Amino acid sequence: MKTLKNPIADFRTQFGTNESCYQYLADMKWKDGYACKKCGNLEFRKGNKHLERRCKSCGYNESPLAGTLFHSMKIPLSTAFEMVYRISVNKKGISSIALSREYNVNQNTAFAFKQKVQLCMKSSGNHPLEGVIHIDEFVIGGPDEGCQGRSSESDKLKICIAVEMVTDKKGHTNAGRMYALPIENYSSEELKKMFATHISKEAEIVTDQWSGYTPLKKEYNIEQIKSDNGGNFPILHAIIMNLKGWVRGIHHHISKFHLKKYLDEFSFRFNRRNFIGGMHQFILTRMVKSAPILIKSMKCS
């Protein structure tokens, strides 16, 4: 893990005021030129407020926040920017409960805003895992009591995980990128969701001997070996333990309804662990380019 180049003090120097945050959004939003969202006209004059733009043709007034995930927020923009920083850059992230306490905002507000940030952490799906891939499944909350192996009766959250195995110049094998997806059960149909979404057809895939993977050999290059209680997949199982520890230590509980967004957050941060300093800028860019959404319910931290 590299040392951060942009600690929180430097971040506050750059984005410590609402004015600096509004200016950043305006510059980002209109960096390729202005076009009215109502009529498409390319010319504008000064809007009602500072940094807003009014169309010279139809008179539509537009704020830097309009049409973005920052639209109609209930918190100051500088606070929102710092929350983006804390969610994306912190090694283990931060829960909505901790956000609400630290920034003195309602937890529902903190939760809704965090959900917007997590949506921007979702993979584009344009860069599937390649090379040697290790795949396994696990449940949040640990093994089912009184059950050996996989149990379809458990109400615990089931997850499929895939990790690239990368060999460096010294011959050491390390984890590359990873993705995790919620699954309903351990059937081939459910497991195939990971293959179809995040794995290259040319990848060399290694799994344990679970029968659910066998039918997928018709479409993918799969080798099945003994798990040996995870001993033959040490890197994969270390990541699984880290993910479980992250859930227990930071969030304590995640509902099934929101599980995928939390898995996207974990994968996003893991896959950019060598570029932590730029994570918040990547998220801010996505938030500007994303249309406004309404988060209606809070079912987990």
Structure tokens that stand for 210 in this block: 């679970």
Per-residue pLDDT band for 145 (boundaries 50, 70, 90) equals very low
Instruction: Locate the domains of the chain by residue range.
Output: 8-123+276-289, 132-243
* Amino acid 3: pLDDT: 44
Each residue's pLDDT tens digit, 58-96? 999 999 999 999 998 889 999 999 999 999 988 888 999
Q: How many CA atoms lie within 13 A of 292 on its CB side?
A: 9
Phi-psi region of 147 (alpha: psi -120 to 50; beta: other; left: phi over 0): beta
Give this prediction's pTM: 0.89
Number of neighbours of residue 65 by Cβ within 10 angstroms: 22
114-129 burial string, b = 16+ CB within 10 Å, else e?
A: bbbbbbbbeeeeeebb
Average pLDDT (112-136) is 95
Residue 33 confidence (pLDDT) above 50: yes
Per-residue pLDDT band for 297 (boundaries 50, 70, 90) equals low
Residue 44 confidence (pLDDT) above 80: yes
Each residue's pLDDT tens digit, 187-243? 999 999 999 999 999 999 999 999 999 999 999 999 999 999 889 999 999 999 999
Contact 265, 121 (CB under 8 A): yes
Residues 245, 248, 254, 259, Cα dihedral to 10°: 0
Per-residue pLDDT band for 169 (boundaries 50, 70, 90) equals confident
* Amino acid 217: pLDDT: 96
**At the top level of CATH, which class does the domain 132-243 belong to?**
alpha beta
* Amino acid 2: pLDDT: 46
